[in-house]
């Protein structure tokens, strides 16, 4: 479980990589723990996104200077976030677009409690869909 947590956490940060394959592997290995796996993966991925939020809030210029995020991507995500607000955080689970959105939420100093609640819902739905598809295919 701890490995799943950290893989999901790192997948949501600036580090390259994904967590879906390992999540499915763990589902296959222990299908009776589907709800626990779903919770662990969602928490790990949410905390990873919160790291992006904190980077945006406290280290914006540094992360852009070090090219963790491209300035153009941050500007595009900021425009989207300003237009759609918290609803855009529901897209935090998406590849490529999700990480900059969580970073921009930090830059804009979006309420961190709301951020965590919305991002957790998005991440939970993401892994929930994966689990649902896996169960439907495996049975």
pLDDT for 95 equals: 78
Averaged pLDDT, 75-103:
85
pLDDT band at 94 (very low <50, low <70, confident <90, very high): confident
Structural domain tally of the chain? 1
Whole-number pLDDT of residue 3: 95
Contacts of 108 (CB under 8 A, 6+ apart): 56, 78, 81, 82
Q: How large a percentage of the chain has pLDDT more than 90?
A: 57
pLDDT in tens, 49-79: 999 999 889 887 777 677 766 778 777 878 8
Say if CB 60 and CB 107 are below 8 A apart.
yes
What is the pTM assigned to this prediction? 0.87
Report the distance separating Cα 88 and Cα 104, nearest Å: 11
Domain encompassing residue 53: 2-138
Name 135's Cβ contacts closer than 8 Å, sequence gap at least 6.
Answer: 27, 31, 34
Question: In this predicted structure, what is the pLDDT of residue 115?
Answer: 97
């Amino acid at each position: 479980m701890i490995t799943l947590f950290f893989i999901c956490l790192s997948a949501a940060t600036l580090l390259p990589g994904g967590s879906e394959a390992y999540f499915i592997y763990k589902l296959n290995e222990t299908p009776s723990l589907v709800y626990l796996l779903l919770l662990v993966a969602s928490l790990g991925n949410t905390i990873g996104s919160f790291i992006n939020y904190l980077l945006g809030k406290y280290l914006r210029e540094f992360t852009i200077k070090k090219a963790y995020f491209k300035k153009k991507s941050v500007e595009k995500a900021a425009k989207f976030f300003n237009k759609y607000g918290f609803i855009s955080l529901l897209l935090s689970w998406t590849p490529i677009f999700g990480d900059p959105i969580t970073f921009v939420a930090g830059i804009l100093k979006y309420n961190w409690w709301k951020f965590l609640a919305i991002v957790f819902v998005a991440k939970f739905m993401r892994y929930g869909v994966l689990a649902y598809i896996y169960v439907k295919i495996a049975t």
